[in-house]
């Protein structure tokens, strides 16, 4: 803002004119300052609103309200699956994975929180790994990290054995909600609690420091039993690939999302989520096209002083 120069000579009238110009300048300056302050306040309010939207899940009730809404959309369910809550863990490292192209990137990697309060302790940690598919990179790297790894997969046609470097113990069991024989595939299916009870003779009644689940939709079968049986209380960190079904209804996806949310309300704190860019599709029963798979990782807040 520029102040006009008044050349009116000398005298009382001239001084009065100069006083009026000065008052006009001061008034204009104050008005501009007030407008600028108001715009600044509006900008801060908009930023706060935006942050609240992005961090909706940091409130204990926001995701619950959204998932129970009558107006819930498929996009909002995807938003929940994609929420990574990365501020919950300061040091996240990926273990394992395979490099793919088109698009280029890693697939099958598992996020591990290495914050001191929650990290697996090398030399004494135990890993349960469900779903190998002859891809041993995660198991081998966790073994190199210093954990004893118990690997499970009934689909590989292999008998129980120790996989090199020797502290990876393979079993041909699948994970489910009960012990049974799958007659369609000739697989032995067992619940997590049953497996843990049998293997306790080998590793003791220790906490499972890291539980990896990648079992192609059967996570939705096994997870309710894990919650009901109390096995989640024996898990320090959990990584699970969750799957959406392009043929399933919006209500089915709501139920799956609420199952994950109920696990989080039990104390499992999410610290990472990555979508699968190679596994995409268009849903039949609601308007949405996108990824059908999400790698999500949690830690158990009962074994950490890290806040969510």
15 with 114, same domain: the answer is: no
Q: Which residue has the higher pLDDT, 29 or 227?
A: 227
The answer, yes or no, to whether residue 52 has pLDDT greater than 80, is no
Listed range (12-16, 100-104, 156-160, 273-277) with the worst mean pLDDT: 12-16
The answer as to whether 177 is a domain residue is yes
20 with 164, same domain: the answer is: no
Would you state the pLDDT for residue 35? 39
Q: Nearest-CA neighbor of 241 among 278, 192, 280, 294?
A: 294
User: What is the tally of structural domains in the chain?
Assistant: 2
Q: How confident is the model at residue 24 (pLDDT cuts 50, 70, 90)?
A: low
The answer, yes or no, to whether residue 149 has pLDDT greater than 50, is yes
Query: Which CATH number do you get for residue 183?
Result: 3.40.50
243 with 141, same domain: the answer is: yes
The H or E element containing residue 42 is: helix 12-54
Rounded CA separation 239/111 (Å): 7
95 with 18, same domain: the answer is: no
Query: Residues 236-257: pLDDT tens digits?
Result: 999 999 999 999 999 999 999 9
The answer, yes or no, to whether residue 58 has pLDDT greater than 50, is no
206 with 236, same domain: the answer is: yes
41 with 66, same domain: the answer is: no
Cis check: omega of the bond before 165, within 30 degrees of 0: yes
Listed range (144-153, 167-176, 297-306) with the worst mean pLDDT: 297-306
CB 76 within 8 A of CB 250: no
Query: Residues 186-238: pLDDT tens digits?
Result: 999 999 999 999 999 999 999 999 999 999 999 999 999 999 999 999 999 99
117 with 209, same domain: the answer is: yes
Domain endpoint, select from 39, 54, 69: 54
Would you state the pLDDT for residue 107? 83
CB 153 within 8 A of CB 172: yes
pTM for this model (two decimals): 0.79
What own/partner pairs with CB < 8 Å and gap ≥ 24 does 87-93 have? 88/113, 88/269, 88/270, 88/271, 88/299, 88/306, 88/307, 88/308, 89/113, 89/114, 89/115, 89/118, 89/271, 89/272, 89/299, 89/306, 90/115, 91/115, 91/119, 92/271, 92/272, 92/297
76 with 36, same domain: the answer is: no
The answer as to whether 94 is a domain residue is yes
The answer, yes or no, to whether residue 171 has pLDDT greater than 90, is yes
67 with 195, same domain: the answer is: yes
The answer as to whether 139 is a domain residue is yes
Rounded CA separation 202/152 (Å): 15
Would you state the pLDDT for residue 100? 83
The answer as to whether 5 is a domain residue is yes
Region 129-150 average pLDDT: 96
Helix (H, G, I), strand (E, B) or coil at 238: strand
Domain that holds residue 220: 57-303
| Percentage of the residues of the chain whose pLDDT score is greater than 90 | 73
Domain endpoint, select from 9, 36, 54: 54
Would you state the pLDDT for residue 164? 86
CB 306 within 8 A of CB 117: yes
Rounded CA separation 147/74 (Å): 39
The H or E element containing residue 194 is: helix 192-203
Q: Following DSSP, what letter does each residue of 48-74 receive, concatenated?
A: HHHHHHHTGGGSTTHHHHHHT-TT--H
The answer as to whether 269 is a domain residue is yes
Instruction: Show Cβ contacts of residue 98 under 8 Å, excluding neighbours closer than 6 positions.
Output: 106, 107, 108, 135, 137
Average pLDDT, the chain: 85
72 with 154, same domain: the answer is: yes
Domain endpoint, select from 12, 33, 54: 54
The answer as to whether 308 is a domain residue is no
Query: Residues 260-305: pLDDT tens digits?
Result: 999 999 999 999 999 999 999 999 999 999 999 999 999 999 986 4
Q: Which residue has the higher pLDDT, 36 or 15?
A: 15
110 with 13, same domain: the answer is: no
11 with 139, same domain: the answer is: no
């Amino acid at each position: 803002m520029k102040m006009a120069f008044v050349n009116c000579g000398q005298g009382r009238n001239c001084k009065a004119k100069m006083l009026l110009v000065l008052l006009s300048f001061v008034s204009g300056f104050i008005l501009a300052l007030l407008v600028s302050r108001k715009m600044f306040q509006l900008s801060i309010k908009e930023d706060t609103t935006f942050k609240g939207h992005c961090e909706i899940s940091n409130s204990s009730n926001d995701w619950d309200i959204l998932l129970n809404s009558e107006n819930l959309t498929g996009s909002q369910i995807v938003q929940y699956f994609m929420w990574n809550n990365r501020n919950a863990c300061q040091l996240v490292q990926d273990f394992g994975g395979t490099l793919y192209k088109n698009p280029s990137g890693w697939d099958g990697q598992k996020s591990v929180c290495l914050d001191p309060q929650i990290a697996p302790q090398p030399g004494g940690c135990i890993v349960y790994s469900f779903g190998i598919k002859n891809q041993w990179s995660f198991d081998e790297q966790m073994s190199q990290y210093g954990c004893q790894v118990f690997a499970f997969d009934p689909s590989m046609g292999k008998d129980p054995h120790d996989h090199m470097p020797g502290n990876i113990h393979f079993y041909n069991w699948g994970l489910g909600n009960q012990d049974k024989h799958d007659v369609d595939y000739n697989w032995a299916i067992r619940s997590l609690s049953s497996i843990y009870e049998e293997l306790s003779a080998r590793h003791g009644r220790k906490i499972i420091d890291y539980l990896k689940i990648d079992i192609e939709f059967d996570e939705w079968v096994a997870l309710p039993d894990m919650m009901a049986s109390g096995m989640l209380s024996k898990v320090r960190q959990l990584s699970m690939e969750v799957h959406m079904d392009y043929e399933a209804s919006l209500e089915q996806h709501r139920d799956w999302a609420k199952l994950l949310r109920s696990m989080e309300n039990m104390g499992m704190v999410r610290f990472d989520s990555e979508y699968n860019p190679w596994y995409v599709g268009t849903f039949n029963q609601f308007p949405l096209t996108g990824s059908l798979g999400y790698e999500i990782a949690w830690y158990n807040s009962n074994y950490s002083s890290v806040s969510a």
